[in-house]
Amino acid sequence: MHISDLLTNSSVVVPLISSNKEDIIKELIKAVPFDRSYAKEEAVIAAVLEREKVTSTGIGEGIAIPHAKCDIKEELAIAMGISIKPVDFTSIDGNPAQIFFMLLSRKDVSGLHIKTLARIAKLVRLDKFKENVLKCKNSHEVIELFRKEESQLP
C-alpha cells in the first residue's frame, strides 16, 4: 500500500487557506473522500477534535497527522495539505506545522490505519522529502513526489 495510491488531486490541498488548528482540521476533512451520505461531516469533525483533546497529532518537525476512527463507510480515507505559513498545532516539539495529513478510518479497522500512519511518518522523517513537499505548487506535483519517493522504499 502506497500513500500515493490513496491521494487524489481533490484530496491534496495546496495551499491550505486556514491559519489555525481547528480550521485546518475542518479544511482537510472537506477534502477527504468519504461517503457523506453515510457519515455526516460534523460527526467526523467532532471525532477528530475529540482525538486531538487526548493528545496533539502534531508529531513535530513541521508535520501533523490529525486522525480518528469514526463511523465512516470506507476502511480508510486520507487527505493531505500544505500550508504556506507555519500553523501552531501544539506539536510535541513545540514547533508549528506546515505539512498535514488527515487520516480517517472505520472504528473496526486497526491494522491498515496503523500501517498508514507509520508509512506517512517514515516518509516525512526524510528531510529532503519534506523540503521537496514544501516546494510543490499543486496536488499533481505532490502525488508525483510521493510516487517517486515510495518507489524507493521497501
DSSP labels, 45-59: HHHHHHHHHHS--EE
Catalytic residue among 2, 67, 113, 140: 67
What pLDDT score does 71 carry?
93
Domain span holding position 84: 3-150
What pLDDT score does 43 carry?
96
In this structure, the strands spanning 58-60 and 97-106 are unpaired
Contacts 24+ apart (CB under 8 A), 126-132: 130/61, 130/62, 130/63, 130/99
For residue 80, what is the domain's CATH number?
3.40.930.10
- Eight-state DSSP code of residue 62: T
What pLDDT score does 110 carry?
82
* Other Cβ atoms within 10 Å of 69 Cβ, number: 16
Residue ranges in the chain whose pLDDT is less than 70: none
Residue 50, classified by CB atoms within 10 Å of its CB into exposed (0-12), middle (13-18) or buried (19+), is: exposed
What pLDDT score does 80 carry?
98
User: Residue 81 in contact with residue 16, Cβ under 8 Å?
Assistant: yes
Q: Say whether 67 is catalytic.
A: yes
Domain count along the chain: 1
